[in-house]
Amino acid sequence: MRIDVLTLFPQLFEAPFSFGIFKRAIDNGLVELALHNIRDYTHDRHHTADDYPYGGGAGMVMKPEPIFEAVEAVVAGTDTDNEGGRTPVILLTPQGRLFTQPVANELAQYKRLVLICGHYEGFDERVREHLVTDEISIGDYVLTGGELPAMVVIDAVLRLLPGVLGSEDSTLEDSHAGGLLEYPQYTRPADFRGWQVPEVLLSGNHAEIERWRREQIIRRTLERRPELLDTAELGREDRELVKRLTTRRSKDNKDREL
Ligand code: 4FV
Protein backbone atom coordinates (compact mmCIF):
# COMPACT_ATOMS: atom_id res chain seq x y z
CA MET A 1 0.00 0.00 0.00
CA ARG A 2 1.15 3.57 -0.70
CA ILE A 3 0.05 6.39 1.60
CA ASP A 4 0.66 9.99 0.60
CA VAL A 5 0.39 12.52 3.42
CA LEU A 6 -0.06 16.26 2.75
CA THR A 7 1.01 18.32 5.75
CA LEU A 8 2.66 21.56 6.84
CA PHE A 9 4.87 19.53 9.24
CA PRO A 10 6.19 16.39 7.49
CA GLN A 11 8.88 16.02 10.19
CA LEU A 12 6.13 15.07 12.68
CA PHE A 13 5.81 11.73 10.86
CA GLU A 14 9.46 10.77 11.06
CA ALA A 15 9.51 9.37 14.57
CA PRO A 16 6.35 7.21 14.71
CA PHE A 17 7.21 5.36 11.49
CA SER A 18 10.94 4.84 12.00
CA PHE A 19 10.66 2.19 14.66
CA GLY A 20 9.37 -1.35 15.16
CA ILE A 21 6.51 -2.75 13.14
CA PHE A 22 6.14 0.17 10.73
CA LYS A 23 9.84 0.60 10.06
CA ARG A 24 9.97 -3.15 9.25
CA ALA A 25 6.91 -2.86 7.01
CA ILE A 26 8.41 0.10 5.16
CA ASP A 27 11.82 -1.61 4.88
CA ASN A 28 10.10 -4.78 3.59
CA GLY A 29 8.31 -2.74 0.95
CA LEU A 30 4.90 -3.66 2.30
CA VAL A 31 4.18 0.01 2.78
CA GLU A 32 5.28 3.19 1.05
CA LEU A 33 4.78 6.37 3.10
CA ALA A 34 5.29 9.55 1.08
CA LEU A 35 5.27 12.88 2.95
CA HIS A 36 4.51 16.09 1.06
CA ASN A 37 4.94 19.60 2.48
CA ILE A 38 1.95 21.67 1.38
CA ARG A 39 4.21 24.75 1.39
CA ASP A 40 6.14 23.19 -1.50
CA TYR A 41 3.02 23.92 -3.59
CA THR A 42 2.96 27.63 -2.82
CA HIS A 43 4.50 30.17 -5.18
CA ASP A 44 4.94 33.34 -3.10
CA ARG A 45 8.11 34.37 -1.28
CA HIS A 46 6.59 33.53 2.13
CA HIS A 47 5.17 30.19 1.07
CA THR A 48 1.77 31.29 2.39
CA ALA A 49 -0.53 28.35 3.03
CA ASP A 50 -3.16 30.14 5.14
CA ASP A 51 -5.10 33.41 5.14
CA TYR A 52 -7.75 35.40 7.06
CA PRO A 53 -11.32 34.10 6.98
CA TYR A 54 -13.77 35.96 4.74
CA GLY A 55 -16.48 37.40 6.96
CA GLY A 56 -14.00 37.91 9.79
CA GLY A 57 -13.55 35.75 12.87
CA ALA A 58 -10.66 34.34 14.85
CA GLY A 59 -7.81 32.32 13.44
CA MET A 60 -6.65 31.55 9.92
CA VAL A 61 -7.96 29.26 7.17
CA MET A 62 -5.89 26.97 4.94
CA LYS A 63 -5.83 28.28 1.36
CA PRO A 64 -7.27 26.04 -1.40
CA GLU A 65 -4.63 26.56 -4.12
CA PRO A 66 -1.62 24.75 -2.57
CA ILE A 67 -3.81 21.84 -1.42
CA PHE A 68 -5.39 21.39 -4.86
CA GLU A 69 -1.99 21.59 -6.56
CA ALA A 70 -0.45 19.15 -4.08
CA VAL A 71 -3.21 16.55 -4.45
CA GLU A 72 -3.27 16.87 -8.24
CA ALA A 73 0.51 16.42 -8.35
CA VAL A 74 0.42 13.43 -5.99
CA VAL A 75 -2.42 11.52 -7.64
CA ALA A 76 -1.67 12.65 -11.22
CA GLY A 77 -1.99 9.70 -13.67
CA THR A 78 -2.13 7.15 -10.88
CA ASP A 79 -5.84 6.50 -10.40
CA THR A 80 -5.91 3.76 -12.97
CA ASP A 81 -3.77 1.33 -10.91
CA ASN A 82 -6.32 1.22 -8.13
CA GLU A 83 -8.71 -1.65 -8.96
CA GLY A 84 -10.85 -0.27 -6.19
CA GLY A 85 -11.59 2.82 -8.30
CA ARG A 86 -10.51 6.33 -7.36
CA THR A 87 -7.75 6.74 -4.79
CA PRO A 88 -9.42 8.00 -1.61
CA VAL A 89 -8.42 11.61 -0.87
CA ILE A 90 -9.18 11.92 2.84
CA LEU A 91 -9.46 15.10 4.90
CA LEU A 92 -8.77 14.67 8.62
CA THR A 93 -11.33 16.93 10.28
CA PRO A 94 -13.62 16.97 13.35
CA GLN A 95 -16.49 17.27 10.83
CA GLY A 96 -15.70 13.89 9.26
CA ARG A 97 -17.28 10.46 9.75
CA LEU A 98 -16.03 8.79 12.94
CA PHE A 99 -12.97 6.60 12.49
CA THR A 100 -13.75 3.05 13.71
CA GLN A 101 -12.38 -0.46 13.14
CA PRO A 102 -14.81 -1.09 10.27
CA VAL A 103 -13.57 2.13 8.61
CA ALA A 104 -9.97 0.95 9.11
CA ASN A 105 -10.89 -2.39 7.53
CA GLU A 106 -12.47 -0.53 4.59
CA LEU A 107 -9.44 1.70 3.98
CA ALA A 108 -7.09 -1.30 4.22
CA GLN A 109 -8.63 -2.62 0.98
CA TYR A 110 -7.12 0.21 -1.10
CA LYS A 111 -3.70 0.16 -2.76
CA ARG A 112 -3.35 3.91 -2.25
CA LEU A 113 -4.57 6.53 0.23
CA VAL A 114 -4.02 10.30 0.25
CA LEU A 115 -4.39 11.98 3.66
CA ILE A 116 -4.65 15.77 4.08
CA CYS A 117 -3.70 17.27 7.46
CA GLY A 118 -5.03 20.67 8.43
CA HIS A 119 -4.01 23.35 10.88
CA TYR A 120 -5.44 26.65 12.16
CA GLU A 121 -9.23 26.91 11.98
CA GLY A 122 -9.37 24.40 9.14
CA PHE A 123 -9.72 24.30 5.37
CA ASP A 124 -11.30 26.57 2.72
CA GLU A 125 -14.67 24.88 2.09
CA ARG A 126 -13.90 24.43 -1.62
CA VAL A 127 -11.36 21.75 -0.62
CA ARG A 128 -14.30 19.77 0.80
CA GLU A 129 -16.66 20.55 -2.06
CA HIS A 130 -14.36 19.94 -5.04
CA LEU A 131 -11.28 17.92 -4.04
CA VAL A 132 -11.64 15.33 -1.30
CA THR A 133 -13.50 12.02 -1.56
CA ASP A 134 -13.88 11.43 2.18
CA GLU A 135 -13.66 13.20 5.58
CA ILE A 136 -12.63 11.33 8.73
CA SER A 137 -12.63 12.38 12.38
CA ILE A 138 -10.78 10.39 15.04
CA GLY A 139 -13.08 11.75 17.73
CA ASP A 140 -15.24 14.58 19.01
CA TYR A 141 -12.50 16.83 20.31
CA VAL A 142 -10.40 19.57 18.64
CA LEU A 143 -6.66 19.12 18.09
CA THR A 144 -4.09 21.67 16.90
CA GLY A 145 -3.48 19.79 13.67
CA GLY A 146 -4.50 16.85 11.50
CA GLU A 147 -1.12 15.11 11.78
CA LEU A 148 -1.88 13.02 14.86
CA PRO A 149 -5.25 11.94 13.40
CA ALA A 150 -3.45 10.94 10.19
CA MET A 151 -0.96 8.88 12.21
CA VAL A 152 -3.84 7.16 14.02
CA VAL A 153 -5.46 6.24 10.72
CA ILE A 154 -2.13 5.05 9.25
CA ASP A 155 -1.38 2.91 12.32
CA ALA A 156 -4.84 1.29 12.41
CA VAL A 157 -4.80 0.59 8.64
CA LEU A 158 -1.20 -0.63 8.24
CA ARG A 159 -1.45 -3.21 11.01
CA LEU A 160 -4.28 -4.84 9.03
CA LEU A 161 -2.10 -5.37 5.96
CA PRO A 162 -0.84 -8.93 5.39
CA GLY A 163 2.69 -9.33 6.67
CA VAL A 164 2.85 -6.10 8.66
CA LEU A 165 2.12 -7.68 12.01
CA GLY A 166 4.30 -10.69 12.79
CA SER A 167 2.54 -14.07 13.17
CA GLU A 168 2.63 -13.61 16.93
CA ASP A 169 0.48 -10.53 16.68
CA SER A 170 -2.97 -11.39 15.40
CA THR A 171 -5.58 -8.78 14.66
CA LEU A 172 -8.31 -11.38 14.91
CA GLU A 173 -8.78 -11.20 18.65
CA ASP A 174 -8.47 -7.43 18.92
CA SER A 175 -11.00 -5.36 20.78
CA HIS A 176 -13.48 -4.15 18.18
CA ALA A 177 -12.23 -6.80 15.71
CA GLY A 178 -15.56 -8.53 16.22
CA GLY A 179 -17.19 -5.28 17.30
CA LEU A 180 -16.79 -6.24 21.00
CA LEU A 181 -14.19 -5.47 23.65
CA GLU A 182 -11.30 -7.88 24.27
CA TYR A 183 -11.07 -10.46 27.09
CA PRO A 184 -8.64 -9.85 30.00
CA GLN A 185 -5.07 -10.90 29.27
CA TYR A 186 -2.56 -12.31 31.75
CA THR A 187 1.08 -13.41 31.59
CA ARG A 188 3.71 -14.66 34.10
CA PRO A 189 3.97 -14.56 37.09
CA ALA A 190 0.81 -16.52 37.98
CA ASP A 191 0.94 -14.81 41.39
CA PHE A 192 1.81 -11.11 41.41
CA ARG A 193 1.67 -9.43 44.82
CA GLY A 194 -0.90 -12.03 45.82
CA TRP A 195 -3.04 -11.31 42.76
CA GLN A 196 -3.66 -14.64 41.01
CA VAL A 197 -4.20 -15.39 37.38
CA PRO A 198 -7.70 -16.97 36.93
CA GLU A 199 -7.40 -20.76 37.45
CA VAL A 200 -9.10 -21.56 34.15
CA LEU A 201 -6.20 -19.98 32.23
CA LEU A 202 -3.75 -22.31 33.95
CA SER A 203 -5.95 -25.39 33.34
CA GLY A 204 -4.82 -26.14 29.78
CA ASN A 205 -8.48 -26.92 29.07
CA HIS A 206 -8.82 -24.94 25.83
CA ALA A 207 -12.58 -25.41 25.51
CA GLU A 208 -13.01 -24.07 29.04
CA ILE A 209 -10.57 -21.23 28.32
CA GLU A 210 -12.47 -20.27 25.15
CA ARG A 211 -15.80 -20.30 27.06
CA TRP A 212 -14.32 -18.17 29.87
CA ARG A 213 -12.84 -15.70 27.39
CA ARG A 214 -16.11 -15.36 25.48
CA GLU A 215 -17.97 -14.75 28.73
CA GLN A 216 -15.41 -12.09 29.70
CA ILE A 217 -15.81 -10.39 26.31
CA ILE A 218 -19.58 -10.19 26.78
CA ARG A 219 -19.35 -9.11 30.44
CA ARG A 220 -16.78 -6.41 29.73
CA THR A 221 -18.62 -5.08 26.71
CA LEU A 222 -21.91 -5.05 28.64
CA GLU A 223 -20.25 -3.15 31.52
CA ARG A 224 -18.23 -0.66 29.48
CA ARG A 225 -19.78 -0.32 26.00
CA PRO A 226 -23.24 -1.89 26.02
CA GLU A 227 -24.16 -0.10 22.77
CA LEU A 228 -21.60 -2.27 20.95
CA LEU A 229 -23.76 -5.32 21.71
CA ASP A 230 -26.52 -3.89 19.52
CA THR A 231 -24.37 -4.05 16.37
CA ALA A 232 -22.12 -7.07 17.07
CA GLU A 233 -22.61 -10.61 15.74
CA LEU A 234 -23.79 -12.50 18.84
CA GLY A 235 -24.20 -16.29 19.02
CA ARG A 236 -27.10 -17.94 20.88
CA GLU A 237 -24.94 -18.51 23.98
CA ASP A 238 -23.84 -14.87 23.89
CA ARG A 239 -27.44 -13.66 23.76
CA GLU A 240 -28.44 -15.95 26.66
CA LEU A 241 -25.50 -14.67 28.69
CA VAL A 242 -26.43 -11.06 27.96
CA LYS A 243 -30.01 -11.77 29.05
CA ARG A 244 -28.80 -13.55 32.22
CA LEU A 245 -26.40 -10.73 33.11
CA THR A 246 -28.89 -7.94 32.40
CA THR A 247 -31.70 -9.62 34.37
CA ARG A 248 -29.29 -10.22 37.25
CA ARG A 249 -28.14 -6.60 37.08
CA SER A 250 -31.68 -5.20 37.10
CA LYS A 251 -32.55 -7.58 40.01
CA ASP A 252 -29.46 -6.29 41.89
CA ASN A 253 -30.57 -2.72 41.23
CA LYS A 254 -34.08 -3.51 42.55
CA ASP A 255 -32.63 -5.16 45.67
CA ARG A 256 -30.39 -2.10 46.20
CA GLU A 257 -33.45 0.19 45.96
CA LEU A 258 -35.31 -1.84 48.59
C1 4FV B 1 -9.34 16.37 14.01
C2 4FV B 1 -10.10 15.39 14.68
C3 4FV B 1 -9.00 17.71 14.52
C4 4FV B 1 -9.21 20.89 13.81
C5 4FV B 1 -8.58 22.21 13.61
C6 4FV B 1 -6.95 20.48 13.21
C7 4FV B 1 -8.07 19.93 14.04
C8 4FV B 1 -7.16 21.96 13.19
N9 4FV B 1 -8.99 15.87 12.82
N10 4FV B 1 -10.15 14.29 13.87
N11 4FV B 1 -10.66 15.47 15.90
N12 4FV B 1 -8.41 18.56 13.64
O13 4FV B 1 -9.28 18.04 15.68
O14 4FV B 1 -9.49 14.62 12.76
O15 4FV B 1 -7.03 22.39 11.88
Does ligand 1 lie within 6 Å of residue 141's CB atom?
yes
Higher-scoring residue by pLDDT: 242, 80 = 242
Nearest residue to 232 (alpha-carbon basis) of 172, 160, 181 = 181
Q: What is the pLDDT confidence band of residue 128, given thresholds at 50, 70 and 90?
A: very high
Would the CB of 1 count as within 6 Å of ligand 1? no
| Cα Dmax for the chain | 75
| Ligand 1 pocket residue status of 143, Cβ below 6 Å | yes
Q: Is 122 in the pocket of ligand 1 (CB under 6 A)?
A: yes
Q: What is the CA(142)–ligand 1 centre distance, in A?
A: 5
Asked whether the beta carbons of 171 and 155 are under 8 A apart, the reply is no
Cα separation, 96 vs 107, whole angstroms: 15
CATH class of 191-257: mainly alpha
Distance, in Å, from the CA atom of 187 to the CA atom of 31, rounded to the nearest integer, reads 32
Q: 26-40, 131-145, 242-256: lowest mean pLDDT where? A: 242-256
Question: What's the rounded Cα separation, in Å, for the pair 195 and 189?
Answer: 10
Would you place residue 84 in the very low, low, confident or very high pLDDT band (cuts 50, 70, 90)?
low
Q: Is there a common fold for 2-158 and 191-257?
A: no
Supply the pLDDT for residue 257: 77
| Cβ atoms within 10 Å, residue 242 | 17
Please tell me which residue in 32, 81, 121, 208 is annotated as part of the active site. Answer: 121
pLDDT by residue (tens digit) across 136-167? 999 999 999 999 999 999 999 999 999 998 76
174 is catalytic: yes
- Ligand 1 centroid–CA 257 distance in Å is 44
Q: Which of 112, 156, 108, 95 is nearest to 3 (CA)?
A: 112
Residues 6+ apart with CB under 8 A from 183: 173, 212, 213, 214, 216, 217, 220
**Ligand 1 atom closest to 123 (CA):** 15
pLDDT value of position 249: 74
User: Could you give the CA distance from residue 34 to residue 75 in angstroms, rounded to a whole number?
Assistant: 12
Whose CA is closest to atom 2 on ligand 1?
A: 94
Compute CA distances 7 → 28, 49, 84, 145, 146, whole Å: 25, 11, 25, 9, 8
Name the CATH superfamily for 2-158: SPOUT methyltransferase, trefoil knot domain (3.40.1280.10)
What is the H or E stretch that residue 228 is in? helix 227-231
Catalytic residue among 174, 184, 215, 220: 174
Spans of all domains in the chain: 2-158, 191-257
- CA-based R_g, the chain, Å: 23
Q: Which one of the listed residues 159, 214, 220, 225 is annotated catalytic?
A: 159
- Each residue of 85-121: b (16+ CB within 10 Å) or e? eebbbbbbbbebeebebebbeebbebebbbbbbbbbe
Condensed to tens digits (0 to 9), the pLDDT of residues 204-236 reads: 999 999 999 999 999 999 999 999 999 888 999
Give pLDDT, residue 171: 64
Give residue 250's pLDDT. Answer: 81
φ, ψ (nearest 5 deg) of residue 116: -115, 120
User: Is any ligand 1 atom within 6 A of the Cβ of residue 137?
Assistant: yes
pLDDT band for position 77 (cuts 50, 70, 90): low
Distance CA 228, CA 63 (A): 40
| 95 vs 35: CA distance, rounded Å | 24
